[in-house]
Amino acid sequence: MHQAPRGTADILPEQQRYWSFVYGTVAEAARAFGYARIDTPIFEDTALFARTVGEETDIVQKEMYSFEDRGGQEITLRPEGTAAVCRSYLEHGLHNQPLPVRLYYLCPMFRYDRPQAGRFRQFHQFGIEAIGDSDATVDLEVLQLAMESMERLGLGGMTLVLNSIGDAADRPRYVEALREHFTPHAAHMGKDDRRRLDTNPLRLLDSKELAGESFMASAPRSVDYLGDEARDHWQELLGYLDALGIPYRLDHTLVRGLDYYTRTVFEVHPSREGAQSAVCAGGRYDGLIEQLGGRPTPGIGFAAGIERLIMNLREQGTEPPDTASAPLVMAYRGERAKAEAVRLGATLRAASGAAVVVAPPRSLKAQLRYASALGARGVFILGDAELENGTVTYRDMATSEQREVPVAQAAEAAAR
Which residues 6+ apart lie within 8 Å of 275 measured at CB?
A: 116, 208
Among 155, 197, 303, 348, binds ligand ATP (CB under 6 A): 303
Stretch that binds ligand ATP, among 39-47, 273-281, 384-392, 399-407 (CB under 6 A): 273-281
Q: How far apart are CA 387 and CA 166, in angstroms?
A: 79
- Residue 120 is a binding residue for ligand ATP (CB under 6 A): yes
Chain residues 230-259 in contact with ligand ATP, contact rule CB under 6 A: 257
355-357, strands of its sheet edge to edge = 355-357, 328-332, 378-382, 391-396, 402-406
Cβ 229 to ligand ATP shortest distance, Å: 25
Gap between the Cα atoms of 367 and 185, Å rounded:
71
Pick the stretch among 28-36, 99-107, 142-150, 279-287 that binds ligand ATP (CB under 6 A): 279-287
Rounded to whole angstroms, the Cα distance separating 332 from 337 reads 6
By CB under 6 A, tell whether 391 contacts ligand ATP.
Answer: no
Q: Tell which one of 129, 139, 170, 307 touches ligand ATP (CB under 6 A).
A: 307
Instruction: Using CB under 6 A, pick the residue from 87, 102, 111, 263 that binds ligand ATP.
Output: 111
| Beta carbons of 247 and 159 less than 8 angstroms apart | yes
Q: Where are the extended beta strands (E) located within 307-385?
A: 328-332, 355-357, 378-382
Cα dihedral sign, 167-172-178-182 = positive
56 in contact with ligand ATP (CB under 6 A): no
The answer to whether 261 contacts ligand ATP (rule: CB under 6 A) is: no
Point out the residue whose Cβ comes nearest to ligand ATP.
305
Smaller CB distance to ligand ATP: residue 125 or 367?
A: 125
**Residue 285, interface with ligand ATP (CB under 6 A)?**
no
**How many residues in the shown chain lie near ligand ATP by CB under 6 A?**
19
Residue from 17, 51, 95, 119 in contact with ligand ATP (CB under 6 A):
119
Pick the binder of ligand ATP from 83, 279, 289, 392 (CB under 6 A). Answer: 279
Helix (H) or strand (E) holding 229: helix 228-244
**Distances in whole angstroms, Cα of residue 157 to Cα of each of 141, 147, 262, 272, 315:** 20, 11, 27, 9, 12
Contact residues: ligand ATP, CB under 6 A: 80, 111, 113, 118-120, 123, 125, 257, 276, 278-281, 303-305, 307-308
